[in-house]
Structure 1
Amino acid sequence: MNCELDHLVVLADTLAHGAAWCEATLGVAPGPGGRHALMGTHNRVLRIDGDGFAQAYLEIVAIDPDAAPPGRARWFGMDDPAQQRQLRRNGPRLAHAVLRTPDAQQLHHGLGTLGCQPGRALKISRETASGTLHWCMLVRDDGAIDLAGHLPTLIQWQGMHPTEAMPASPVRLQSATLGGLPAPVRELLRLRGLSGHDTGPAVTVTLDTPRGAVTLHSTP
């Protein structure tokens, strides 16, 4: 059961700051996204699919100031006060990788046998102009990411994939490396098109952009 890169997560204190970061860093403004009612967040998105990275995209996520409190911890550690201060002080940052799998529940069990805590399989949806997106995603109740933030989040789409409605962009993902993953975890995930290592940042990517080659590293 191979896992492949679905999308990269860029966290921002506001979507406006995230969009400005995207245009300044990659030379392209992100497209519209939508709201995640379950998490009290919203996003903007940009296709970055390239050779070996079919249906890959970049997602800029921020807490939605107009949403009601979600009644649970938000994903990607977004409620962590230290992270919120960092985003306000230093601006948006590449934070995480989400991997696509055909069976998130089976991998949840497999990761559990390895001592990992990837979180429960949640059913999530988001409204778009092209219809409602539905997916299943492993998210911990405390919103944290296991392996000190290095364990990629697993997603299983149900129906339409969001890139099917996204316009093409001039940004192309050239390479992606996941760090901080023990060998048994890498063997279980059977990474397709991605390199995996015991050490290093949680995710490192190189993109071909209108501004030339851009390499981004996630930071704690």
Structure 2
Amino acid sequence: MNLAFDHLVIGAASLAEGEAWCEATLGVRPVGGGKHGLMGTHNRLLNLSGPGFPRCYLEIIAIDPDAPPPGRARWFDLDSPALQERLRVEGPGLIHWVARVDGDLDAQLNHWRELGVDAGEAVAASRMTPAGELRWRIALRRDGKRLSSGALPLLIEWGEVHPADGLAGATVNLCKFELSLPQPALLAGLLVETGEAHVHAQLQTPLGLVSLQLMT
């Protein structure tokens, strides 16, 4: 069962700060997005699709101050006091990435468990968009922790619709994604080097090339 790159996750102390970061750093304003009732978060999106990385995007996400507590740890380590402090002091940054499962998410999670990695359970999630309800299944740990400090991706299985399908044509493109892990066999289908956990993404933007390093 192979995996494919799906999207980058930019964490922010507030969605307004994330939007401002996107305009200042990438030269464009993010669009779309919505609210995640399951997690008490909200987001904005930016299409990154290009020849080397089709059907992919950037997600800017923050805790929704108007949402009730979700009753469980939020995804992407957003409840971590240490990460919250870094986002508050240093501003928005790359905190995680998501890989798309080409097949059965439950089978992929079982495979990872056989390799000694517990990525949690498959959970159904959704949010409303102008075109209707967007649905997916995503692997979530009860503690919300990022595996390998965010270098090992969250796994997702989309329904019939993918977010990139409804986004405007990309003016920012993902042109390079470099990844190293102690266990590269976990990510069959993706180019992974063996080594310490590391993520580096390079984007072609209206402001030139922009490099993003994982905020651990």
TM-score, structure 2 as length reference: 0.95
Q: Percent same amino acid among aligned pairs?
A: 45
For structure 2, the residue ranges without an aligned partner over 5 or more in a row are none
For structure 1, the residue ranges without an aligned partner over 5 or more in a row are none
Segment drifting more, 198-207 vs 71-80: 198-207
In the alignment, which residue of structure 2 is the partner of 1:178? 179
Count of residue pairs the alignment pairs up: 215
Equivalent residue in structure 2 for 1:199, among 172, 180, 195: 195
What is the identity, as a one-letter code, of the residue corresponding to 1:21? W
What is the identity, as a one-letter code, of the residue corresponding to 1:74? R
Report the alpha carbon displacement of residue 181 of structure 1 after superposing the two structures with TM: 4.1
* Deviation string, structure 1 residues 48-71 (Cα, Å, up to 9, x no partner): 001121110000000000000000
Segment drifting more, 116-125 vs 162-171: 162-171
Structure-2 separation of matches of 1:5 and 1:182: 17
In the alignment, which residue of structure 2 is the partner of 1:158? 159
What is the identity, as a one-letter code, of the residue corresponding to 2:210? V
Structure-2 separation of matches of 1:109 and 1:200: 24
Assess if the C-alpha contact under 8 Å between 1:10 and 1:58 holds in 2: yes
What is the identity, as a one-letter code, of the residue corresponding to 1:217? Q
Report the alpha carbon displacement of residue 198 of structure 1 after superposing the two structures with TM: 2.7
Assess if the C-alpha contact under 8 Å between 2:14 and 2:62 holds in 1: yes
Assess if the C-alpha contact under 8 Å between 2:148 and 2:197 holds in 1: no
In the alignment, which residue of structure 1 is the partner of 2:5? 5
Alignment of 1:95-106 (within 5 A): 95-101=95-101, 102-106=103-107
In the alignment, which residue of structure 2 is the partner of 1:47? 47
2:114 is the alignment partner of 1:113: yes
Kindly report the root-mean-square deviation, in angstroms, between the aligned alpha carbons of the 2 structures: 1.3
Alignment of 1:21-36 (within 5 A): 21-36=21-36
Structure-1 separation of matches of 2:196 and 2:7: 19
Assess if the C-alpha contact under 8 Å between 2:31 and 2:45 holds in 1: yes
Report the alpha carbon displacement of residue 200 of structure 1 after superposing the two structures with TM: 4.8
Structure-2 separation of matches of 1:171 and 1:201: 26
* Deviation string, structure 1 residues 144-169 (Cα, Å, up to 9, x no partner): 02234321111000111111111113
Report the alpha carbon displacement of residue 206 of structure 1 after superposing the two structures with TM: 0.9
Aligned-partner SS, 1:205: strand
In the alignment, which residue of structure 1 is the partner of 2:189? 190
Structure-2 separation of matches of 1:114 and 1:65: 38
In the alignment, which residue of structure 2 is the partner of 1:210? 206
What is the identity, as a one-letter code, of the residue corresponding to 2:98? V
Assess if the C-alpha contact under 8 Å between 2:182 and 2:196 holds in 1: no
Cα 1:200–1:211, aligned 2, differ >3 Å: closer, same or farther? farther
Structure-1 separation of matches of 2:195 and 2:95: 16
Structure-2 separation of matches of 1:202 and 1:157: 26
What is the identity, as a one-letter code, of the residue corresponding to 2:178? T
TM-score, structure 1 as length reference: 0.94
* Deviation string, structure 1 residues 119-165 (Cα, Å, up to 9, x no partner): 11000001000110100000101000223432111100011111111
Cα 1:148–1:28, aligned 2, differ >3 Å: closer, same or farther? closer
